[in-house]
Amino acid sequence: MRCRKNTSSFRFWQTSSSRCREILVPFSEGIFAKANLQDSKELIVNVGSGILVRKGLSETAELLSKRINDINGQKEMLIKELQEIGIKAGKLEESLGSFEESS
């Protein structure tokens, strides 16, 4: 849910006409500082291992979309695994019930 909200905010920011905008900069979970955005044509993106690179808005939007798709794929995989675990747990419960009845 948070990714979708951030993507919506990014799209709004990307299409906004103002050049210098006030933004909230996160310091920690739930702690923010107000700041003025000076350069709205590029963003600094962590590409892994603490490496930061400058990316244009369209590149960053593509990266956000890819990350959201990856997260959704992982979510679907986890749901499938949980369903399989549920089926196995049901079979084990049935086996235990049969074992108790025969003892």
Q: What is the DSSP string of 17-82?
A: --SSEEEEEEEETTEEEEEEE---SEEEEEEETTEEEEEEHHHHHHHHHHHHHHHHHHHHHHHHHH
Examine the pLDDT at 29 and tell me if it is beyond 70.
yes
Buried b / exposed e along 16-53 (16+ C-beta atoms within 10 A): eeeeeeeeeeeeeeeeeeeeeeeeeeebeeeeeeeeee
At 38-70, the pLDDT tens digits run 777 888 999 899 999 999 988 988 998 999 999
Q: Averaged over 67-75, what is the pLDDT?
A: 95
Q: Which residue has the tokens 């074992």?
A: 99
Q: Domains in the chain, ordered, with CATH?
A: 2-102 (1.10.287.370)
